[in-house]
């Protein structure tokens, strides 16, 4: 009877064959993987990032109003000085001042976000001008449509185009204050005009009289 035990030599080659087969499978796997990458378009991924900083800023593009030197005319009890607002009120009546800067103050939102705008003046009429019944009023108009909007953003602020007494303390721009609940930043609607109406009584202070306008903004 023939001994059916496998020859050691046969077993040796059998092992070699298995190892060779495994090596071949590895080559097939690597080749297939490389081919799959080329066929499927697998690539390494990357990303780009940037941050746009929020800038809330307004600028007085016309920052000074001057009437020069003058006085109430002899036969008048007071003089009226305006910056000639939208309704075309005369610059000076009852006095001989001459407005040297026409068109009121111009304010522009030069930031990149809508803001609330609140305007204040450093002194009221009795402190600044004094005398009998002095008046300091101001008025906002849009230089570009829809620049200054109401709190809901649904239309022009309700107190626009009307003269109001100047205010020395911050107040809600749309409730008793002067300013914009929403002051737009887009280049087509980012400019407003601030006009003034002053009454100078004959017994006012004399000398150089000036005030400072402050704009306070908050990003929305």
pLDDT, position 40: 55
Structural domain contains residue 52? no
pLDDT, position 158: 65
Q: What is the span of the domain harbouring residue 213?
A: 58-219
Number of domains in the chain: 2
**DSSP E strand boundaries for the chain:** 58-62, 78-82, 92-93, 105-109, 115-121, 135-142, 148-149, 164-165, 178-183, 191-201, 213-219
Element (H, E) at 32: helix 8-40
pLDDT, position 196: 92
Q: Does 132 lie in the same domain as 103? A: yes
pLDDT, position 42: 59
**DSSP E strand boundaries for 34-144:** 58-62, 78-82, 92-93, 105-109, 115-121, 135-142
Q: Does 99 lie in the same domain as 12? A: no
Q: Report whether 92 contacts 80 (CB < 8 A).
A: yes
pLDDT, position 162: 86
Q: Does 141 lie in the same domain as 195? A: yes
Structural domain contains residue 49? no
Structural domain contains residue 44? no
Q: Does 11 lie in the same domain as 119? A: no
pLDDT tens series, the chain, 220 aa: 444 444 443 444 444 444 444 444 444 445 545 545 555 555 667 788 888 888 889 999 999 999 999 999 999 999 999 997 656 667 899 999 998 888 899 999 999 999 999 899 999 999 999 999 999 999 999 999 999 998 887 777 667 888 889 888 876 655 557 889 899 999 999 999 999 999 999 999 999 999 999 998 999 9
Structural domain contains residue 203? yes
In Å, how far are 51, 68, 75, 76, 204 from 199, measured between CA atoms?
Answer: 50, 15, 15, 12, 10
pLDDT, position 151: 83
Structural domain contains residue 43? no
Structural domain contains residue 113? yes
Q: Does 63 lie in the same domain as 12? A: no
């Amino acid at each position: 009877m023939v001994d059916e035990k496998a020859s050691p030599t046969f077993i040796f080659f059998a092992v070699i064959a298995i190892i060779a087969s495994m090596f071949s499978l590895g080559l097939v796997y690597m080749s297939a993987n490389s081919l799959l990458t080329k066929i499927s378009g697998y690539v390494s991924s990357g990303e780009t990032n940037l941050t746009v900083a929020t800038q809330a800023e307004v600028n007085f593009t016309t920052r000074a109003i001057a009437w020069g030197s003058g006085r109430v005319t002899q036969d008048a009890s007071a003089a009226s000085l305006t910056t000639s607002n939208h309704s075309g009120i005369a610059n000076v009546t009852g006095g001989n001042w001459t407005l040297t800067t026409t068109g009121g103050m111009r304010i522009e939102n030069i930031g990149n976000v809508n803001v609330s705008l609140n305007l204040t003046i450093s002194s009221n009429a009795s402190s600044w001008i004094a005398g009998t019944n002095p008046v300091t009023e101001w008025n906002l108009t849009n230089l570009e449509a829809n620049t200054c909007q109401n709190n809901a953003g649904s239309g022009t602020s309700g107190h626009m185009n009307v003269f109001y007494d100047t205010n020395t303390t911050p107040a809600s721009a749309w409730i008793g204050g002067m300013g914009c609940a929403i002051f737009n930043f887009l280049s087509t609607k980012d400019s407003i005009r601030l006009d003034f109406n002053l009454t100078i009584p004959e017994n006012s202070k004399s000398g150089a009289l000036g005030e400072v306008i402050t704009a306070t903004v908050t990003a929305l």
